[in-house]
Structure 1
């Protein structure tokens, strides 16, 4: 069973972590400044690659940003590529400057 956990430190830097059976298999490194959520890096354990787990992290990011009214600055190459590939999906949360 997959589980997503979002952890932010006191400096508003943190992670969106993906777990399978209590084992962390993926993470997105994030930081929040005012109402802009920056995504720096996305990584999935190589033993789990190609199974759609990065998309689960992206879906969790989209939901979290929408619920908290954050704009997302996609500095991570994976996230940026997905935003460019699906601009209408991410239009409401995409911080383009």
Structure 2
């Protein structure tokens, strides 16, 4: 899925402009990317969209040579379940 990117978030809207998925992040004082929340509309859950959102932030972190602090429960669980996949970007 292709996501739109704005400052501090990746998101996707449906054809009517309704938000269906979003991941928010901040940069802390040390330059770490802090994933603060992940949202997928109920109608779109179970399709792997939340994981794709996390991967979008991970790709950005790799491109910018930054580390990620996964603060939101979903992102934290993804990092915990796949430590080898995210070890290069995990704070």
Query: Which of residues 11, 27, 35 in structure 2 aligns to 1:17?
Result: 11
- How far 1:23 moved relative to its partner? 4.5
| Residue 39 (structure 2) pairs with residue 43 (structure 1) | yes
Give 5+ residue unaligned stretches, structure 2: none
Aligned match of 2:24: 29
Give 5+ residue unaligned stretches, structure 1: 9-13
- How far 1:38 moved relative to its partner? 0.3
More strand per residue? 1
What's the TM-score, normalizing by structure 2? 0.87
Give, in whole Å, the separation in 2 of the partners of 1:87 and 1:29: 21
C-alpha RMSD of the superposition? 1.5
Give, in whole Å, the separation in 1 of the partners of 2:49 and 2:12: 8
Runs (4 or more) in structure 1 with deviation over 6 Å come to: none
Structure 2 counterparts to residues 1-97 of structure 1, below 5 A: 2-8=1-7, 14-21=8-15, 23-33=18-28, 34-95=30-91
What's the TM-score, normalizing by structure 1? 0.82
